[in-house]
Amino acid sequence: MKKTAIISGVCGQDGSYLSEFLLSKGYKVIGLKRRTSLITTDRIDHLYDNEDFILEYHDLNDSSSTWRLISKYKPDEIYNLAAQSHVRVSFDVPEDTVNGISMGTLHILEAIRALVPDCKFYQASSSEMYGDAPCPETGYTEESRMTPASPYACAKLFAHNLVRNYRVAYNMHASSGILFNHESPRRGETFVTRKITLAAARIKLGLQDKLSLGNLSSYRDWGFAGDYAKAMWLMLQQDKADEYVISTGHTYTVKHFLHEVFDIAGLDPEKYVEIDDRLFRPHEVPYLLGDSSKAKEVLGWEPETSFKDLAKMMYDSDYKFILDTEK
Ligand code: NAP
Ligand code: F7E
């Protein structure tokens, strides 16, 4: 019998890669999307013809939809990827961000406990939970101190703790992946990597002449989203639920990413980049480096895409995209 998996936030970057991955493994995938005034299914449009891919409306802030869908499909696995995931925006809409992430996760856990106690659960935790806590030389581990630095990160830490609590209190198979930044050609256009690759492509094609950025000195441990989707699945295939850091073990500044991409494009960033104070955050996360030794040892997971390959993959894809759509 086919396994059934529910993915919340299916229209997002990770939802699309995870859907492809689970369908390739023979799952029936129930993708949950929320109602939006414009169509947001671009990343999953190519999956529509697959009879094992079903879309349903859901919202993290509507617990009735959570309970109804879990009751209807009685899934074997649930991947909770939905979130207002933009850290800077979480300072502007803190209540919506925090409610969705914290109460949305609580409702899923409660529905699993009541309706499908054997269902395995994955929570999309985040490296943002470490905030500005001191980083060990070899990177943050599952045991490192967490001092979140945004409403988004505070809510993610609440949900992370809740998952651990339900795992222990009710013996639920509930795991958290502490994923460090992961990017791809499908990354949202307002995250810094995609903003840079899109701008470089437009500048190269003579369609843009300025790129406004905020803090260029923060460090991020950037991996490829396609590699990280596999790690989510691996966590739910273990006998015991647990929490795992998923990262590359390399960290670079935003400035380094900018130069990498502009070098690929044959452009000088000094000519085009301007710093806009409005893009700085009230509380910045200055340095993120992950130590994913536990994932390697227990899950057999390792990242497969280098920083340079990721930057090139994203620039090449955006160059083609802009050429096809705007030129
Ligand atoms: P994403 O592209 O922003 O996708 C998030 C999805 O959640 C979107 O499809 C969004 O819908 C949906 N969503 C937002 N608010 C919702 C609500 N109230 N109810 C239902 N759905 C809602 O994010 P991602 O990069 O794929 O990340 C997936 C998850 O991993 C998120 O929880 C994120 O916080 C977490 N995470 C991401 C990273 C990373 O580097 N990418 C790292 C660690 C953790 P719309 O399409 O309608 O906006
Ligand atoms: O910022 C700096 C910014 O928005 C990265 C989310 O997926 O990963 C992501 O969160 C850095 C920050 O990602 C701009 O200040 C400079 O230091 O691309 P970002 P993020 O905040 O690290 C984590 C793991 C998640 O969980 C989140 O969901 O880049 N930066 N100039 C800028 N950032 C943006 N967005 N735009 C700029 O113009």
Chain segment 281-298, per-residue pLDDT in tens: 999 999 999 999 999 999
pTM (predicted TM-score):
0.98
Ligand 1 geometric centre to CA of 243 (Å): 19
Distant-in-sequence, close-in-space partners of 156: CB < 8 Å, separation ≥ 6: 83, 101, 125, 126, 128, 129, 148
Binding-site residues, ligand 2, Cβ < 6 A: 85, 87-88, 126-128, 180-181, 190-192, 195, 213-215, 218, 220, 254, 279, 281, 284
Alpha carbon distance 99, 84 (integer Å): 10
Instruction: Among 220, 253, 289, name the best residue to mutate to test ligand 2's pocket (greatest count of ligand atoms within 8 A of Cβ).
Output: 220
- Asked whether 100 and 143 are in contact (CB, 8 A), the reply is no
Radius of gyration of the chain (CA): 19
Element (H, E) at 193: helix 192-204
Surface-to-core class of residue 237, CB atoms within 10 Å of its CB (0-12 exposed, 13-18 middle, 19+ buried): exposed
Which of the 8 DSSP states describes residue 181? Answer: P
Q: Alpha helices, DSSP H only, in 116-188? A: 151-170
What's the pLDDT score for residue 274?
Answer: 98
Assigned token pair, 245: 């850091």
Ligand 1 mean position, distance from CA 156 (Å)? 12
- Quick: pLDDT tens for 102-121: 999 999 999 999 999 999 99
Residues with pLDDT less than 70, the chain: none
Judge contact between 315 and 197, C-beta under 8 A.
Answer: yes
Separation between Cα atoms, residue 15 and residue 128, nearest integer Å: 19
Q: Which two tokens stand for residue 112?
A: 């699993």
Within 13 Å, how many C-alpha atoms sit on residue 51's CB side? 1
Q: Per residue in 174-199, pLDDT tens?
A: 999 999 999 999 999 999 999 999 99
Give which of 291, 9, 288 is closest to 129, Cα–Cα: 288
Phi, psi of 71 (to 5 degrees): -65, -40
Task: Supply the pLDDT for residue 327.
Answer: 79
- Give the span between the Cα atoms of 139 and 185, in whole angstroms: 26
- Token pair 């050609």: residue: 185
Scored b (16 or more CB within 10 A) or e, 109-130 reads bebbbeebeebbbbbbbbbbbb
- How many Å is the maximal CA-CA distance in the chain? 59
